[in-house]
Amino acid sequence: MITLLAEIISVGTELLMGEIIDSNAAFLAQELKNRGVFMHWKTTVGDNLARLQEAIERALSRSDLVILGGGLGPTDDDLTREAILTSIGEEAVVDEAYLAKLRAWFEARGRSFPEQNIKQAWVSSSARAIPNPVGTAPGWFVRVPNSSKIIVAMPGPPREMKRMWAEQVLPRLELPQSGFYFKTFRTVGIGESHLAERLGDLAQLENPSIGTYARRDGVHVRVAASAATLEAAQALAESSEIAVQAKLEGFIYGTDEQTLPEMILEQLRSRSQSLGIIESISGGIMSDELTNAKGSSEAFFGGTVAYAAQAKLKLGVNPEILEQHGAISPQTTAALAQIARSSFGADWGLACTGAADNSFGDSMPAGTLFVAIATPDNQILEFKSVVAGDRRTMKERAAFNALGTLWRAMKT
């Protein structure tokens, strides 16, 4: 099995200066890992020719595949092509056919072609322009002369980079048949340490290996295996996958890229049921997450954020309940779940309330969370737990805790 080493260079003063966060590098690292390509270095460098060239040369000295992101625009600040050419000792030539395409693109939009854009049609003996499926800046695919090394340059905007990577770069890379296999199980309702206890000796395995990762939506468990071929790796992982599923029964809501809101919506749609929610401490994140999924309105009828006590009263919570038990209590939460169900005309009602800080007395420390569910047969289920972290983290954890509680209630 060949081991390929890759290295990422992100180009741009804005990135270096922290004005934007570099999500491209994270995406590429994940993509490479999933194909069994190892990455040891990631460098960020500003729009400076000498430093960019230094970074490329160092990368070529220690890695097989160098991926550059950014610096492919038409302006004087865009120096990625220039730096690559100096590093490999070649000169730019204008690809007239590509230039004609660029000119046509502008013409079709009724715009005059800015002459500085000519450099976007540059190629060289070793460098080929690769089309940008969603923008004007083409990428570059470079077979480094007198070596088996490759340089790939892609545009900075994530939407352009991701499409170019999938449609243009991956096919050209002809990566060796990957002998790496991964499967991620996504769980809710169980903390990392309890999960580790359940996994027991499984966590000691080396190949396949089993790793746990605390994420904002719950703990993820990843089974990884390597062998000569993907099929062999998958076969190697199989018994561990079965063991993980058995030990975590009832906690796994999905695998790989399946999100909790998507799985809840799928459950609802498959039963022709619907959901209404009222959230307090999570402050809108549950609705936000549910509506990120396309077609969510079929099953998610609506949500209300009732942050102030006054809002809970206005929604119709019995004033006596509020008076006697308080705005943050199992009783108020149960009442809100019922109202969530009835006010949106939904089959399921979900509500949460909680203490975002310590202003509610000793009996209710910051992070106290109440979740209630009104079921289609109008039963009320009540849950209590604690979420930790700063204000924002608590809001997120409360949202995913409540959604996870609903998912588990629907499955039982």
Containing 232, the helix (H) or strand (E) segment is helix 230-247
Whose Cβ is closer to a copy of itself: residue 85's or residue 275's? 275
Angle of the 260-270 helix axis to the 391-411 helix axis, nearest 10: 30
Q: Which two tokens stand for residue 206?
A: 């080396």
Considering the complex, what minimum distance in angstroms separates the CB of residue 252 from a copy of itself?
A: 19
Helix (H, G, I), strand (E, B) or coil at 42: strand
Whose Cβ is closer to a copy of itself: residue 314's or residue 411's? 314
> Which stretches of the chain bind a copy of itself, using CB under 8 A?
15-23, 25-30, 33, 39-46, 48, 51, 159, 213, 276, 283-292, 294, 296-298, 300-311, 314-315, 343-345, 357, 390-392, 395
Considering the complex, what minimum distance in angstroms separates the CB of residue 356 from a copy of itself?
A: 8
CB 203 within 8 A of CB 153: no
- Is 260 buried (19+), middle (13-18) or exposed (0-12) by CB count in 10 A? buried
Considering the complex, what minimum distance in angstroms separates the CB of residue 271 from a copy of itself?
A: 17
What are the phi and psi torsion angles at 273 (to 5°)? -115, 170
Amino acid identity, position 14: E
Whose Cβ is closer to a copy of itself: residue 239's or residue 258's? 258
Considering the complex, what minimum distance in angstroms separates the CB of residue 183 from a copy of itself?
A: 16
Owner of token pair 């080929």: 128
Whose Cβ is closer to a copy of itself: residue 44's or residue 401's? 44
Whose Cβ is closer to a copy of itself: residue 62's or residue 384's? 62
Whose Cβ is closer to a copy of itself: residue 134's or residue 202's? 134
Considering the complex, what minimum distance in angstroms separates the CB of residue 285 from a copy of itself?
A: 5
d(CA 42, CA 69): 11
Q: Could you count the other beta carbons within 10 Å of the beta carbon of residue 159?
A: 11
CB 328 within 8 A of CB 360: yes
Amino acid identity, position 164: M
Whose Cβ is closer to a copy of itself: residue 28's or residue 252's? 28
CB 395 within 8 A of CB 283: yes
Considering the complex, what minimum distance in angstroms separates the CB of residue 282 from a copy of itself?
A: 8
Considering the complex, what minimum distance in angstroms separates the CB of residue 239 from a copy of itself?
A: 25
Whose Cβ is closer to a copy of itself: residue 344's or residue 383's? 344
Task: Specify the DSSP class assigned to residue 102.
Answer: H
Considering the complex, what minimum distance in angstroms separates the CB of residue 79 from a copy of itself?
A: 14
Q: Could you count the other beta carbons within 10 Å of the beta carbon of residue 295?
A: 9
List the beta bridge partners of residue 139: 130
Considering the complex, what minimum distance in angstroms separates the CB of residue 311 from a copy of itself?
A: 3
Whose Cβ is closer to a copy of itself: residue 91's or residue 390's? 390
CB 253 within 8 A of CB 407: yes
CB 287 within 8 A of CB 311: no
List the beta bridge partners of residue 213: 220
Helices then strands, counting H and E runs in the chain, come out as 15, 17
Whose Cβ is closer to a copy of itself: residue 197's or residue 231's? 197
Containing 39, the helix (H) or strand (E) segment is strand 38-45
Considering the complex, what minimum distance in angstroms separates the CB of residue 256 from a copy of itself?
A: 14
